[in-house]
Amino acid sequence: MTSLPTQPTAKKLGLVIDLDVCVGCHACVVNCKEWNTGGYGSALSDQDPYGADVSGAWLNRVHTFEVMPQGGEIVGEAGEARIVHFPKSCLHCEDAPCVTVCPTGASYKRAEDGIVLVDEDKCIGCGLCAWACPYGAREMDLAAGVMKKCTLCIDRIYNETMEEVDRQPACVRTCPANARHFGDFSDPQSAVSIMVMERGGMDLMPEQGTRPVNKYLPPRPRKSLAASAAASPLAEDTEGAKGFFAWLDGVLDRI
Amino acid sequence: MHPAPSIIVFTTLSGLGYGLAALLGLGVLDPSLVATKIAHVLALLLIAAGLASSTLHLGNPQRAWRALSQWRSSWLSREGVMAILTFVPLLWSAWAAVIESRYLMLPGLLGTLFAGITVYCTAMIYASLKSVQAWHTPLTPLCYLLFAASGGALLGLFFAASSGGPLLLLSVMAVVFTAAAWTAKLAWRRNMDAMAPLSTPESATGLGDIGKVRLFERPHMTENYLTREMGFRIARKHAGKLRQLSLLSGGVVPAVIALVLPIAGSDGGLIAALAMALAVAAHVLGMLAERWLFFAEARHAVMNYYGG
Ligand code: SF4
Ligand code: SF4
Ligand code: SF4
């Protein structure tokens, strides 16, 4: 059934991604592929896997952006530009356009927890849902001919055969920087809701009207280049040297 | 957007087929003439070929029947349902014309109505996508409908010219619909050229508050499904030339031929039929170029993440 749930879903499960903390290591990308190629649905195939033109279906990808602050100083090529690593996977939108366009009923949003899934036995691989998603969160598996997308590791988060600590999406569990958090956004007391409130968590492309569940925490403000430069001592100036360095300064001057 | 040949051929052929079927449904061509019987068969063949071509890009075509189930929410599903429903009056009309040499008003008009609805559904598949801003306008279904009418009238005029049908009426229809279609299409192009992008790298990343956002590194070095499917970019100078060619071949040439026929006092015959065959061929070529541009020029919001 590709009509969206008429009521708000009982839970709103999703991710918080902290753009201040992510170091762009791609561990979440690799662990996502590793888990999901053997988990829910068909394997995540690669085409020409060992060749020059390798490509394949991935459910989580890390882009890297450069942001130039307004009025930022341009030194050389970068200056005050900031590098922001930007992981992106399905945002499990509340008004998911990918779901309503699906002609077969393969795409659906679960009423109980809001997770957006593809029933691969129904999918005809028409690709329309990937066109409808403005975020590029759906990729066709060219070997199986069905649409793949993030399942929020539905086969982990409810999996009672796993230890409690592992009942998290693979990307969250593996992130070495703790940049990814999983939780229920319908509960205002949940850790993810509090994080979003305190750090001004934001929606991607709110103008597309999709109402994403996943939220992104913006990078914290940074000192300007000039302010940071004043704090670092200049190597040529030995004026204020004390103790061992004052002695070394003297000795080196004498020889 | 990647201009996939199967979809371009599908929308062009089925548009032409439904246009011709809609025209035949109005009963302006004499069903006792061989040309009209051929026209009925041709309309069905064009529609069937178009539909067959549309299944070529599916990953699992053997389950295509499932696409009929979600007509409540999905325009693609509605299109599938309407395409099948439309065959009922069209086959009925074709039977009456080909076998019994009769025009039946009820299936005729139903066929015209259903053909229009089917073309509308096809167009709405594209027009309903907010992620592709150029398509997301009521002008999109208007263009599809008028182009189908234009193609149908031109084909109708061809059959009238080859068999002594009502030349003047069909000539007027062909010229009016062709002119209307291109007026709508030029408005569509102006709309696309003038629009400020709904989504930008700034809104896509949420980093606009800090400053100007530029892609620094893609997630991987090679192409992926998304960049292949949605990352198509056409050089501006080529787009400009193709736009003019599509207008010339798909609009000006066929309209001028359709206009000249009755003015030259032709009442059908070999020369008139050949001229109209040329007009139809030019129209089809122009439509293929127009559909190719429809995809090639449209930008998908996801490219904000891929620096395109
Ligand atoms: S991010 Fe894309 S695929 Fe995921 S729910 Fe939203 S629109 Fe659908
Ligand atoms: S590719 Fe599959 S899930 Fe996506 S719209 Fe088509 S049938 Fe539905
Ligand atoms: S694992 Fe964590 S730090 Fe590494 S790219 Fe993913 S989100 Fe960023």
Question: What integer pLDDT is reported at residue B69 of this predicted model?
Answer: 93
Cβ B47 vs Cβ B18: under 8 Å = yes
B58 part of contact set with chain A, CB < 8 Å: yes
Return the closest-CA partner of residue A218 out of A69, A19, A15, A17. Answer: A19
A136 CA closest ligand 1 atom index: 2
Q: Which residues contact B81 (CB under 8 A, 6 or more apart)?
A: B68, B71
Q: What is the mean pLDDT of residues A129-137?
A: 97
- Phi, psi (5° rounding) for residue B54? -70, -20
Q: Per-residue confidence of chain B (308 residues) as pLDDT tens digits?
A: 999 998 999 999 999 999 999 999 999 999 999 999 999 999 999 999 988 888 888 999 999 999 999 999 999 999 999 999 999 999 999 999 999 999 999 999 999 999 999 999 999 999 999 999 999 999 999 999 999 999 999 999 999 999 888 899 999 999 999 999 999 999 999 999 999 999 999 999 999 999 999 999 999 889 999 999 999 888 778 899 999 999 999 999 999 999 998 888 777 788 999 999 999 999 999 999 999 999 999 999 999 999 87
pTM: 0.92
Q: Say what the alpha-carbon torsion angle B262, B263, B267, B271 is, to the nearest 10 degrees.
A: -100
Distance between CA atoms of residues A250 and A236, nearest Å? 14
Cβ of A63 within 8 Å of Cβ of B218? The answer is yes
Q: What is the pLDDT of residues A181-195, one digit of tens each?
A: 999 999 999 999 999
Tell which B residues from 142 to 201 touch A, by Cβ distance under 8 Å.
198-199, 201
Select the residue from A88, A104, A220 to test the B interface by mutation, using most B Cβ atoms within 10 A: A104
Q: What is the pLDDT of residue A115?
A: 97
The domain segmentation of chain A, as residue ranges, is 13-227
Under the banding of pLDDT at 50, 70 and 90, the label for residue A230 is: low
**pLDDT reported for residue A31:** 97
Contacting residues of A for B81, CB less than 8 Å apart: none
- Tell me what percent of the residues of chain A surpass a pLDDT of 90: 75
Token readout for A80 is 């005050």
For A65-109, write each residue's pLDDT tens digit: 999 887 766 655 556 788 999 999 999 999 999 999 999 999 999
What is the token pair recorded at B302?
């996801």
Does residue B132 sit in helix, strand or coil?
A: strand
Partners of A65 on chain B (C-beta within 8 Å) are: 201, 205, 207, 213-216
Q: Is A133 in the pocket of ligand 1 (CB under 6 A)?
A: yes
Tell me which of A129, A138, A147, A207 to substitute to probe ligand 1's pocket, judged by most ligand atoms within 8 Å of the beta carbon: A138
Distance CA B23, CA B133 (A): 32
pLDDT in the model for residue A69 = 83
Shortest Cα distance, chain A CAs vs residue B228, angstroms: 11
Lookup result for tokens 């979809």? B7
Pick from B27, B1, B232, B11: nearest CA to B120? B11
Residue B57 buriedness (CB in 10 A; 0-12 / 13-18 / 19+): middle
pLDDT at position B63 is 92
Token pair listed for B155: 């084909």
Do A159 and A183 meet the contact criterion of CB atoms below 8 Å apart?
A: no
Lowest mean per-residue pLDDT among A26-35, A124-133, A148-157, A241-250 = A241-250
| CATH 3.30.230.70 assigned to B5-306 | no
Give the residue ranges of DSSP H helices in chain A.
27-36, 97-100, 128-132, 154-157, 170-174, 191-199, 225-231, 243-254
**What sign for the dihedral angle of Cα A180, A182, A188, A191?**
negative
A139 contacts in chain B (CB < 8 Å): 224-226
Q: What is the pLDDT of residue A249?
A: 82
- For the Cβ of A91 lying below 6 angstroms from any atom of ligand 1, the answer is yes
pLDDT band at residue A241 under the 50/70/90 scheme: confident
Percent with pLDDT over 70 in chain A: 91
Distance CA A228, CA A137 (A): 38
Instruction: Write phi, then psi, for A124 (nearest 5 degrees).
Output: -100, 0
Give Cα B129 distance to the centre of its chain. 17
Q: Taking Cα atoms as reference points, which of B129, B123, B297 lies closest to residue B198?
A: B129
State the Cα–Cα distance between residues A64 and B143, nearest whole angstrom: 40
Residue A146 CA to residue B59 CA, distance in Å, equals 6
Confidence of residue A12 (pLDDT cuts 50, 70, 90): very high
- H helical segments located in B210-302: 225-230, 236-247, 253-263, 270-296
ipTM of the complex: 0.94
Residues A175, B184: Cα–Cα separation, whole Å: 52
Helix, strand or coil for residue B30?
A: coil
Q: What are the Cα distances from residue A198, in Å, to A12, A185, A194, A220, A223?
A: 19, 14, 6, 12, 21
Dist CA A124 CA B67 (whole Å) = 8
**Which CATH class, in words, describes the domain spanning A13-227?**
alpha beta
What local confidence, expressed as pLDDT, does residue A236 receive? 61
